[in-house]
């Protein structure tokens, strides 16, 4: 038997490494198990988020957006850029450097906080034992008073489009293209599909997005989703809704995809195809037989509101449990669980978890949509303000989109906020904080916002809830 710990965390993604650091900060002897092998053949931390998810995709999104700005938008500002080109390989190398720096940074944080890093594949053997198997197959068993499973998730694959080494790839493979494909297909118009489609569309690909659902971004407020779809179509993304993929065939260096829509059977040819139809929990083999931790038919671990599993002392967080698969949700669950293990009171407000799509403009939301409220029988009042009426947005050449506030018609309490516009991902924090403190739309309306800022759109949207917006004509004036 190897060392004994107060806490062992399985997985060093944004949920696991945060849980481990927090536990160590609270004086608990903590270890964190990770098996992810980086490009240099060594174990690296950060999970999907840092290695093949949030961070590398944002590096490509930012680079491709700046390319579009330099190529098409600088002239309006009086900037002559000349011939602008993109070196895809150099862009990818920069992305890899960012990933390397951040994953290496976690190793430094572990050392600074006294977290023991265990390299290998973790498996829960009992409520107090974790087996760690290294790359060479050598296994060691560790004891712990508490175990936190933060094993994350993996991309979902579908039978009609089996992955290949180069032509049909998942989101991970799409982050490694070394040249811009002429014709790019994307299966799935969710967050990942729209972001990756945007990257390669900006760099010159003819991008077609095939989405099986009839509705575009059904989790987003319908007004915001409608405007987002219009803006992405204007940028060149061909988004086909109600298009169910039925098969694919490799013909030389091309991929022929078959799909069915309202017009019947269709066929389309691509140079590359990205499959982005969601993610599934990575729990297979993580929980040993007979441990007693309950999983559902999809592989999610059953937990309560404080991430306790059916076995005392065993917790699970992040993508392998219920709720949205978001890095920040996992991180906050990690902090909550570490606090609980240390004997502190802790909880999470699952109604105030923000989501962001990092297209341009960005799409961000928190809380209820109008559709949600209607389904729940809640009467709401709303206010919206377009960035076209924002002075800062005009100066930024970013007048597309709007901010929308949804409030309870009776209490005025903010139930949701939805934004499509430049820096929407930054601005949505206002909605999160407002909801955490139970703020009303009037609270935001009475707050003083710096001028000129993009955030003033949120202020005006809050004012518009009662028909008091200053910088636009109110549809309905109220006393």
pLDDT value of position 3? 78
Q: Are 295 and 149 within one domain?
A: yes
Based on the structure, what is the number of domains in the chain?
Answer: 3
Q: 209 to each of 201, 275, 277, how far by Cα in Å?
A: 11, 10, 11
How many helices and strands, by DSSP H and E, does the chain display? 13, 22
pLDDT value of position 88? 97
In three state form, how does the secondary structure of 158-198 look?
A: CCCCCCCCCCEECHHHHCCCCCCCCEEEEECCCHHHHHHHH
In a domain, 116, yes or no: yes
- Residues forming beta bridges with residue 295, ordered by sequence position: 301
Domain CATH code at residue 198: 3.50.50.60
**What does the pLDDT look like over 401-448, one tens digit per residue?**
999 999 999 999 999 999 999 999 999 999 999 999 999 999 999 999
Higher pLDDT, 459 or 476: 459
Q: 254-261 and 153-155: which strand pairing? A: unpaired
Instruction: Determine the 3-state secondary structure of 1 from DSSP.
Output: coil
Q: Are 210 and 343 within one domain?
A: no
The last residue of a domain, from among 277, 311, 333: 277
Q: Are 177 and 267 within one domain?
A: yes
Q: Are 173 and 258 within one domain?
A: yes
In a domain, 160, yes or no: no
Tell me the average pLDDT across 356-382: 97
Distance from C-alpha of 307 to C-alpha of 295, rounded to nearest angstrom: 13
Tell me the average pLDDT across 120-124: 98
**What does the pLDDT look like over 230-245, one tens digit per residue?**
999 999 999 999 999 9
Q: Are 29 and 135 within one domain?
A: yes
* 116 touches 206 (CB < 8 A): no
Q: Mean pLDDT of all residues in the chain?
A: 96
346: Cα within 13 Å, side-chain hemisphere: 17
Q: How far apart are the first and last CA of the chain?
A: 73
Distance from C-alpha of 258 to C-alpha of 276, rounded to nearest angstrom: 16
In a domain, 49, yes or no: yes
**What does the pLDDT look like over 332-365, one tens digit per residue?**
999 999 999 999 999 999 999 999 999 999 999 9
Q: Are 150 and 251 within one domain?
A: no
User: Dihedrals φ, ψ of 130, to 5°?
Assistant: -130, 130
User: Dihedrals φ, ψ of 104, to 5°?
Assistant: -65, -30
Question: In the chain, what percentage of residues exceed pLDDT 90?
Answer: 97
User: Is position 451 annotated as part of the catalytic site?
Assistant: yes
In a domain, 471, yes or no: no
Instruction: Determine the 3-state secondary structure of 386 from DSSP.
Output: strand
Q: Are 106 and 225 within one domain?
A: no
Q: Which of 65, 72, 451, 459 is catalytic?
A: 451
Tokens of 379: 């009467």
Q: Are 273 and 284 within one domain?
A: no
**Which of 361, 368, 380, 478 has its CA nearest to residue 427?**
361
The last residue of a domain, from among 277, 308, 337: 277
pLDDT value of position 405? 98
In a domain, 247, yes or no: yes
In a domain, 478, yes or no: no
pLDDT value of position 129? 97
**What does the pLDDT look like over 49-107, one tens digit per residue?**
999 999 999 999 999 999 999 999 999 999 998 899 999 999 999 999 999 999 999 99
Confidence class for position 1, pLDDT limits 50, 70, 90: low
Tokens of 57: 């995709």
| Domain containing residue 204 | 168-277
pLDDT value of position 475? 76
- Buried b / exposed e over 430-450, threshold 16 CB at 10 Å, is bbbebbeeebbbbebbeeeee
- How many residues are there in the chain? 479
User: Dihedrals φ, ψ of 319, to 5°?
Assistant: -70, -20
Tell me the average pLDDT across 2-15: 94
The last residue of a domain, from among 324, 348, 372: 348
Distance from C-alpha of 53 to C-alpha of 31, rounded to nearest angstrom: 24
pLDDT value of position 477? 58
* 131 touches 141 (CB < 8 A): yes
Q: 330 to each of 114, 121, 324, how far by Cα in Å?
A: 21, 20, 9
Distance from C-alpha of 346 to C-alpha of 355, rounded to nearest angstrom: 22
Distance from C-alpha of 320 to C-alpha of 48, rounded to nearest angstrom: 13
Q: Are 318 and 381 within one domain?
A: no
In a domain, 340, yes or no: yes
Q: 435 to each of 5, 247, 352, 457, how far by Cα in Å?
A: 38, 45, 6, 18
Confidence class for position 325, pLDDT limits 50, 70, 90: very high
Tokens of 61: 């999104």
pLDDT value of position 467? 95
Q: Are 173 and 207 within one domain?
A: yes
Residues 6 or more apart whose CB falls under 8 angstroms from that of 47 comprise 11, 12, 13, 14, 15, 16, 17, 34, 36, 53, 152
Distance from C-alpha of 469 to C-alpha of 479, rounded to nearest angstrom: 12
In a domain, 321, yes or no: yes
Distance from C-alpha of 317 to C-alpha of 328, rounded to nearest angstrom: 11
Q: Are 27 and 128 within one domain?
A: yes
Distance from C-alpha of 350 to C-alpha of 358, rounded to nearest angstrom: 22
Q: Are 139 and 15 within one domain?
A: yes
Cα 125 to chain center, whole Å? 31
User: Dihedrals φ, ψ of 279, to 5°?
Assistant: -130, 160
Domain CATH code at residue 361: 3.30.390.30
């Amino acid at each position: 038997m190897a060392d004994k710990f107060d806490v062992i965390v399985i997985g060093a993604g944004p949920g696991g490494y945060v849980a481990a650091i927090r536990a160590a900060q609270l004086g608990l002897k903590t270890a964190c198990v990770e098996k992810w092998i980086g490009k240099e053949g060594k174990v690296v931390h950060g999970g999907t988020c840092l290695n093949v998810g949030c961070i590398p995709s944002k590096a490509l999104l930012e680079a491709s957006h700046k390319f579009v700005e330099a190529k098409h938008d600088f002239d309006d500002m009086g900037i002559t850029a000349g011939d602008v080109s993109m070196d895809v390989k150099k862009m990818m190398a920069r992305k890899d450097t960012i990933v390397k720096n951040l994953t290496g940074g976690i190793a430094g944080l572990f050392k600074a906080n006294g977290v023991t890093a265990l390299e290998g594949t973790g498996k829960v053997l009992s409520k107090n034992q974790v087996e760690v198997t290294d790359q060479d197959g050598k296994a060691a068993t560790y004891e712990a008073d508490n175990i936190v499973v933060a094993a994350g998730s993996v991309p979902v694959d579908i039978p009609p489009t089996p992955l290949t080494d180069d032509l049909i790839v998942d989101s991970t493979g799409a982050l490694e293209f070394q040249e811009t494909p002429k014709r790019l297909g994307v299966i799935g118009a969710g967050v990942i599909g729209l972001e990756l489609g945007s990257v390669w569309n900006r760099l010159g690909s003819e991008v077609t997005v095939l989405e099986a659902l009839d509705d575009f971004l059904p989790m987003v407020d319908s007004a915001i989703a409608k405007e987002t779809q219009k803006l992405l179509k204007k940028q060149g993304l061909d988004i086909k809704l109600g298009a169910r993929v039925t098969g694919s065939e490799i013909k030389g260096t091309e991929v022929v995809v078959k799909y069915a829509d309202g017009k019947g059977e269709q066929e389309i040819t691509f140079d590359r195809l990205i499959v982005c139809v969601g993610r599934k929990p990575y729990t297979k083999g993580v929980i040993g037989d007979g441990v007693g931790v309950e999983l559902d038919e999809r592989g999610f671990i059953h937990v309560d509101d404080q991430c306790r599993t059916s076995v005392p002392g065993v917790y699970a967080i992040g993508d392998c449990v219920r709720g949205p698969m978001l890095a920040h949700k996992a991180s906050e669950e990690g902090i909550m669980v570490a606090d609980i293990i240390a004997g502190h009171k802790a909880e999470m407000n699952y109604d105030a978890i923000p989501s962001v799509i990092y297209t341009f403009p960005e799409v961000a939301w928190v809380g209820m949509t109008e559709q949600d409220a209607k389904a729940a029988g809640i009467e709401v009042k709303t206010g919206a303000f377009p960035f076209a009426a924002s002075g800062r947005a005009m100066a930024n050449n970013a007048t597309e989109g709007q901010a929308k506030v949804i409030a309870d018609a009776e209490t005025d309490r903010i139930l949701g906020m939805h934004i499509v516009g430049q820096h929407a991902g930054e601005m949505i924090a206002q909605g999160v904080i407002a909801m955490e403190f139970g703020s009303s739309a009037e609270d935001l309306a009475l707050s003083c916002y710096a001028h000129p800022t993009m955030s003033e759109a949120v202020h005006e949207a809050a004012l518009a809830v009662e028909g008091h917006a200053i910088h636009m004509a109110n549809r309905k004036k109220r006393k």
